Amino acid sequence: RRSSDLMKKLLFALIIALGAINAQAQKTPHAIGAHFGGSTIDLEYQYHFSKRNFLDVTAGVFNLSDGFAMQAVYNWNFKQWPQWTPRFATWKFWGGFGGGIGHYEHDDYDGMFIGPVGTIGFGFTLKDVPFTLGLDYRPMVAFNLGHGDAIIDRGFRNIGLTLTYRF
């Protein structure tokens, strides 16, 4: 019987600790996730300075296998709608700008590229779990600096889904 009481107390303490971790997770400035776009598939890290702005850093494949890219974009939450679905999620509209760098090998282009990046997105953050799901457009004007100097147009078709977890 004593062992049973101890197990109940440990289980209760574990439930309280997990609840506290979940509550704390929703208040931290960090988020990790993935972006699945028309020209990139990225791992994503976000640092939220406040409810109004955040830095989004991504790294992944470019043009789905022809290279890799890293991007950093400073974003603003232009508008939030917490009352659209008050029990479900807070809806958001965001946008920002930044830059990117990478390497590309395809047909006539080969080498490093750099360029400005923009973002515009719409999505929601769940009320009970710190997940955000969004649809965004992340165009990049990529200037190829290697063989075949040109603007790589594949960065213009980067419409995709983003999923992040705030921890």
User: Tokens 């009481």 — which residue?
Assistant: 5
What is the phi/psi pair of residue 10, to 5°? Answer: -65, -40
How much is the mean pLDDT over the chain? 86
Q: What average pLDDT does this structure show over 71-92?
A: 95
User: Which residue in 40, 34, 55 sits closest to 134, CA to CA?
Assistant: 34
- The model's confidence at residue 16, banded by pLDDT at 50, 70 and 90, is low
The answer, yes or no, to whether residue 30 has pLDDT greater than 70, is yes
- The model's confidence at residue 111, banded by pLDDT at 50, 70 and 90, is confident
The answer, yes or no, to whether residue 66 has pLDDT greater than 50, is yes
pLDDT value of position 151: 84
- The model's confidence at residue 1, banded by pLDDT at 50, 70 and 90, is low
What is the phi/psi pair of residue 102, to 5°? Answer: -175, -170
Cα 101 to Cα 59: distance, rounded to the nearest angstrom: 10
Q: Please report which helix (H) or strand (E) contains residue 13, including its range.
A: helix 2-25
Share of the chain above pLDDT 90, in %: 58
The answer, yes or no, to whether residue 24 has pLDDT greater than 50, is no
Q: What average pLDDT does this structure show over 2-29?
A: 59
Strand partners, 66: none
Q: Is 146 helix (H, G, I), strand (E, B) or coil?
A: coil
Cα 12 to Cα 24: distance, rounded to the nearest angstrom: 18
The answer, yes or no, to whether residue 76 has pLDDT greater than 70, is yes
Q: Is 62 helix (H, G, I), strand (E, B) or coil?
A: strand
